[in-house]
């Protein structure tokens, strides 16, 4: 039985089993010896440790002398400690070299596969960021286009500018109205609006010859140019305080007014 164990250890079956190159029958034979003989189990453990050393070496850029040192170490230490017989046969060096090469190839292939997967994930992230950036650029271009169009209207020589300041009831109120009678457009720019109770808001009105027309609600959120209806032959613009959900036309609620006559 010792001779059978010795012959098994001197064979290349443990190396082939470690790299998955055994047949079904050879696999059964190896697993039998590993489970039955501590010498075979120790030899297999040593080969596994050598594989870990090689795997760690393959994970980084390895100097050329490292592989040579590993092969020398394997040749020195690979012989399992068994009962010495009359004849002692060394495992051929080329068999060990072939096993090491196969292991290095497997480790390198796995490392490159993992790196490729990471690169693919990073590439997908970059693509998503590019699409998001394109969306942001399109939105910004749209806003810039709207702003440019508004500035063109403001700089139009036909546009007239009206600064509307608050009265004693709203001293800090200040808005600017831009009215272009040629292309019949009106806009208002809110500068400052005194805060009102939650149930109230500001309304802008146009005074005509025979009536007052509500042009809409203005608030602090309108701190940008806001289009308002253009009223032909308007005599004045006024800002009043009204209750939410109601339309007011009472003079005692007026907080600002500017005449458009002879302007």
- Is 138 contained in some domain? no
DSSP 181-241: TTTTEEEEEEEE-----TTEEEEEEEE-SS-EEEEEEE-GGG-SEEEE---TT--EEEEEE
Domain boundary (114, 141, 170) is at 114
- Is 197 contained in some domain? yes
77 and 172 inside one domain? no
d(CA 19, CA 102): 7
7 and 108 inside one domain? yes
107 and 170 inside one domain? no
The secondary structure of 107-162, three-state, reads HHHHHHHHHHHHHHHHHHHHHHHHHHHHHHHHHHHHHHHHHHHHHHHHHCCCCEEE
Domain boundary (99, 114, 129) is at 114
Q: What's the angle, vertex CA 42, arms to CA 36 and CA 46, rounded to 5? A: 145
Domain boundary (114, 134, 151) is at 114
Residue 183 has which token pair? Answer: 């292309």
Sign for the pseudo-dihedral over CA of 212, 215, 216, 217: negative
Identify the pLDDT of residue 90: 52
* Region of poorest pLDDT, from 82-91, 135-144, 183-192, 251-260: 82-91
Q: Is the pLDDT of residue 69 over 80?
A: no
Give mean pLDDT, residues 74-78.
54
- Is 195 contained in some domain? yes
pLDDT band, very low/low/confident/very high, at 74 (cuts 50, 70, 90): low
Number of residues that make up the chain: 263
105 and 18 inside one domain? yes
Identify the pLDDT of residue 86: 40
Give mean pLDDT, residues 223-238.
87
pLDDT band, very low/low/confident/very high, at 151 (cuts 50, 70, 90): low
Task: Quote the domain boundaries for residue 30.
Answer: 2-114
23 and 96 inside one domain? yes
Give mean pLDDT, residues 20-43.
88
Report the domain count for the chain: 2
Q: Is the pLDDT of residue 139 over 50?
A: yes
> Could you read off the pLDDT of 207-221 as tens digits, one per residue?
998 889 999 888 877
- Is 42 contained in some domain? yes
H/E element holding 256? strand 254-259
189 and 108 inside one domain? no
11 and 110 inside one domain? yes
Give mean pLDDT, residues 167-195.
89
- Is 28 contained in some domain? yes
- Is 125 contained in some domain? no
Q: How many CB atoms sit inside 10 A of residue 47's CB?
A: 20
> Could you read off the pLDDT of 188-204 as tens digits, one per residue?
888 888 888 888 899 99
172 and 232 inside one domain? yes
Q: Is the pLDDT of residue 231 over 60?
A: yes
Q: What's the angle, vertex CA 233, arms to CA 227 and CA 234, rounded to 5? A: 55
- Is 148 contained in some domain? no
188 close to 222: Cβ distance less than 8 angstroms: yes
Q: Is the pLDDT of residue 13 over 80?
A: yes
> Could you read off the pLDDT of 84-98 as tens digits, one per residue?
444 444 555 556 666
Whether the pTM exceeds 0.85: the reply is no
């Amino acid at each position: 039985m010792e001779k059978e164990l010795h012959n098994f250890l001197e064979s290349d079956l443990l190396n082939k089993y470690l790299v998955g190159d055994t047949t079904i029958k050879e696999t059964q034979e190896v697993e039998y010896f590993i489970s039955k003989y501590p010498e075979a189990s120790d030899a297999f453990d040593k080969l596994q440790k050598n594989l870990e050393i090689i795997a760690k070496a393959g994970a980084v850029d390895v100097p050329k002398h490292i592989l040579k040192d590993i092969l020398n170490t394997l040749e020195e230490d690979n012989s399992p400690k068994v009962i010495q017989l009359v004849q002692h046969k060394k495992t051929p060096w080329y068999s060990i070299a072939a096993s090491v090469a196969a292991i290095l190839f497997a480790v390198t292939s796995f490392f490159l596969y993992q790196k490729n997967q990471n690169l693919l994930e990073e590439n997908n992230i970059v693509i998503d960021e590019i699409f998001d950036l394109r969306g942001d650029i399109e939105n910004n271009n749209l806003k810039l286009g709207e702003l440019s169009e508004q500035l063109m209207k403001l700089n139009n020589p036909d546009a007239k500018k009206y600064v509307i300041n608050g009265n004693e009831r709203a001293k800090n109120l200040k808005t600017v109205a831009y009215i272009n009678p040629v292309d019949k457009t009106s806009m208002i720019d809110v500068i400052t609006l005194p805060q009102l109770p939650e149930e109230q808001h500001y309304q802008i009105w146009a005074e005509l010859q025979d009536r007052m027309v509500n042009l809409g609600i203005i608030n602090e959120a309108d701190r940008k140019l806001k289009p308002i209806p253009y009223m032909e032959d308007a005599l004045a613009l006024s800002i009043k305080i009204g209750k939410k959900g109601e339309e007011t036309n009472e003079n005692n609620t007026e907080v600002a007014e500017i005449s458009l006559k002879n302007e």
